[in-house]
Amino acid sequence: MDISVERIFDKETITKCIIPLFDDIVEDGTGINALDGYVDVLKDLWVSIHAGVELVGVVQFKPYNRTMLEIHPFIQKPFRKYSEKAGKASLKYASTHAPKMYNSIITNIPASKRYASLFARKIGFKEIGRYKDGFFKDEAHCDMVLFQRGIF
């Protein structure tokens, strides 16, 4: 099935994609109010990803500093079979629509989220470091793994 990507400004659609994933992606003790002010469609680049007419998910690209963007993909669970295509398509979109001052993209993934790390590697990210015990989930600390790739 063809994957399409377009910029999205609809905060409600974005939030509806994030909320079902919330407990999986946040540290223990984080309340839903953590999303208050998180979705900024003017400052950040949010894209929606579709497989045909189905909304697969949304991806956030936000400035990390003056040369790097940070990526946060939110792929809905029923559509995980499209994750690799969706991730690559969103990166391609960012490479043509983000300001040219950005030359790389980073992401942080808890070491306990093995499938998320495999996904990052499949779409071209490489591990560049770790924050030791940088994430607290399921009543245990784990490392936060840092990944980076070029934007193009």
Predicted TM-score (pTM) of the model is: 0.93
User: pLDDT tens digits for 75-103?
Assistant: 999 999 999 999 999 999 999 999 999 99
- Report pLDDT for 138: 86
User: pLDDT tens digits for 116-129?
Assistant: 999 999 999 999 99
- Report pLDDT for 2: 92
DSSP the chain: --EEEEE---HHHHHHHHGGGHHHHS-TT--GGGGTTT--TTTSEEEEEEETTEEEEEEEEEESSSSEEEEEEEE-GGGGGGHHHHHHHHHHHHHHHS-TT--EEEEEEETT-HHHHHHHHHTT-EEEEEEEEEEEETTEEEEEEEEEEE--
What mean pLDDT do residues 49-65 have? Answer: 97
What mean pLDDT do residues 43-58 have? Answer: 97
